[in-house]
Chain A
Amino acid sequence: MGLLSFLGQNLGTIGATAAIHAWLSVEGTLLGAVVAIPFGLWSYRLPGVRKVAAAIAETIQTIPSLALLAILMIWFGMGDTTLVVALFLYALMPMLHNTVEGLLSVDPQYVDVAQGLGLSRAQVMWRVQVPLAAPIILTGLRVALVTSIGIATVGVFIGAQGLGSIIYQGMQVQSAPQILAGALPAALMAIVIDGILGFFAGRLRRASGRRQEAAMASPLRGQRKEMVSLEERIQG
C-alpha cells in the first residue's frame, strides 16, 4: 500500500497523533522558556551565575535523548509526563543561551539613554532591553521547539504518545508508508514552525532597527551566531 493510500486510510489517527505530538512538544518547550527566560533576565549581568547555568544547560543538552528519557522514567514513570520533563530540560539551553545573548547584544547606549530619561531598572528592562533582545529570544524558542518535535518521537519507548508510535509500528511491520506517515508530519511541523517563528523573529528584528545587525556585523561574530543557529536547527 503506497504512502498516499496509507495516509488516506488513516488520516484521522495520524492527525490526532500529530496534534498530541505538537501539544507535548509545545508544552515542554514553553515550560523550559518559562523557567529559562526569567532566569536569563535576572542572571545576564552576573557572569559567575551565567557561566555555571550555561554549563549545566549545555551539559544536559548533550545527553542522548533515550538515555535521559530512560533515567527520568525511573522517577516519573512511563508516559507523557516523563517526555514533557525531558523536553523541558532540553529547551533550557537554547532559551537561556539566547535570552542572555539577546540581552548582552543590546547596545549599552540605549540602556544609558533610557536611564537618563528617568526610567527605573524594571522599566528599562521591559521597555528597552527585552524588546530589543526579542528577535534573538524568539530564535531560541524556535530552535527549542523544532528540537522538541524531533526528540518527542523517541518518547514512544517510554510509553509517551506521539508520532513515534506510528514510526515504531511501521518499523515493526516493515512498512515504509507507515514509517513515513509518522515521520513526515513531524518533519513538516518542524519546518512550518521553523518558518513561522523565523518570520516573526525577522519582523521583530527589523522593527527594532539596525542595531542588532550592527552588533552582529563582525564576520567572526556573525559566523559564531550562524554556527549557533545552525547547530540548533539540527535536531536529534
Chain B
Amino acid sequence: MNGIWPDIVAHLPLVWADLLQHVEIVAISVAFGCLVAVPVGILLTRHTAVAEVVITITGLIQTVPSLALLALVLPILGVGLVPSITALALYALLPILRNTYVGVRGVPRETVDCARAMGMSGLQALWRVELPLAIPVIVAGVRLSTIYLISWAVLAALIGGGGLGVLILEGLATYDFGLVLAGAVPAALLAIAAGFGLGWLQRALTPKGIRSVASGRGA
C-alpha cells in the first residue's frame, strides 16, 4: 500500500476533472428530473386514479438494476455524455415524482379547505399552501435522487459518460489501488456532502410552523 499516496497525488488533476464532470452529469440529470417530475407529480394529485397506476409503474421500473438501464439505452442513443444523462435523468424522475405526489397529497384536507375558504383560487392554494407544506418531502425526494444518481453516474464511465467511475474502473482493471481510491474516495465524499447539503436544505425549507413537529425524532 506504500505507493498509494504518491499515486493519488499524481492523479489529482485527473481527479479534479473527473469530479467536475461527475457533478455536471448529476446536476443536469437531477435538474431535468425536477423539471419534469414536480409538475407531473402535482398533476397526478389532481387525478388520483391515474396516479396510483403511474406510481406503481415507476416503482416497478426502479426495481430494474441501474446497470441494466444504462445498458439498454445504448442501442438507442449510443455512447457518451448525452445517453448517460438521459438514462440518469429518467432514473432521477422516479423518486422526485413519488415524493412530490406523496408530499402534496399529504397536506391535510382541512388546511387546503381553509385556504380555499380564505378566498384563494386553486392555483393560489397550490402555490402558497400546498407546495410550501410539501417542500420537505419533495426536497427529500430530490436528495434521494441526487445520492442515487451520484452512485449511478459512477457506472456511466462504462458507456462513455466520464466522471469518477473512470478512475475506479481503470484501477479495478489494473489492480491499481491508488487509482481506485483516487476515484472512489472523492465519489464517496461527494455523495456524503450532497446528502448533508440537501438535508440541510430540506430542513431550511421546512416551513417554521411544522418544523418543530417534523424534527420530533431526527429523521
Residues of A within 8 A of B (CB): 51, 54, 58-59, 62-68, 70-71, 73-74, 101, 104, 146, 150, 153-154, 156-158, 163-164, 167-168, 170-171, 174, 176, 179-180, 182-184, 186-187, 190-191, 194, 218-224, 226-228, 230-231, 233-236
Contacts and interface: CB of A to CB of B under 8 A. Distances in A.
B102 A59 contact: no
A184 B72 CA distance: 13
B168 A67 contact: yes
B210 interface: yes
Contacts of B65: 150, 153-154, 163-164, 167, 182-183, 186-187
8 contacts: A65-B151, A66-B154, A67-B154, A70-B180, A71-B185, A73-B180, A74-B1, A231-B140
A58 B218 CA distance: 12
A170 B137 contact: no
A63 B155 contact: no
Given A71-B181, A163-B65, A224 B151 contact: no
Nearest to A162: B65
A27 to B, nearest CB: 18
Given A73-B180, A230-B98, A158 B155 contact: no
A58 B143 CA distance: 13
Given A71-B185, A234-B62, A236-B152, A66 B168 contact: yes
Interface range on chain B: under 10, 10 to 19, 20 to 34, or 35 or more?
35 or more
B219 A228 contact: yes
A233 B165 contact: no
A225 B171 CA distance: 40
Contact of B62 (A104, A220, A235): A235
B20 interface: no
Interface in B164-185: 164-165, 168-169, 171-172, 177, 180-181, 183-185
Contact of A220 (B68, B74, B213): B213
Interface string B65-92: 1111011101100000000000000000
B59 to A, nearest CB: 7
Contacts of B217: 101, 104
Nearest to B71: A171
B140 A186 contact: no
A154 B75 CA distance: 21
Given A158-B172, A219-B108, A64 B216 contact: no
Contacts of A176: 72, 75
Contacts of A170: 71
Given A70-B183, A234-B98, 5 more contacts: A64-B151, A73-B180, A101-B217, A171-B74, A228-B219
A184 B68 CA distance: 9
Nearest to A181: B68
A230 B56 CA distance: 12
B1 to A, nearest CB: 8
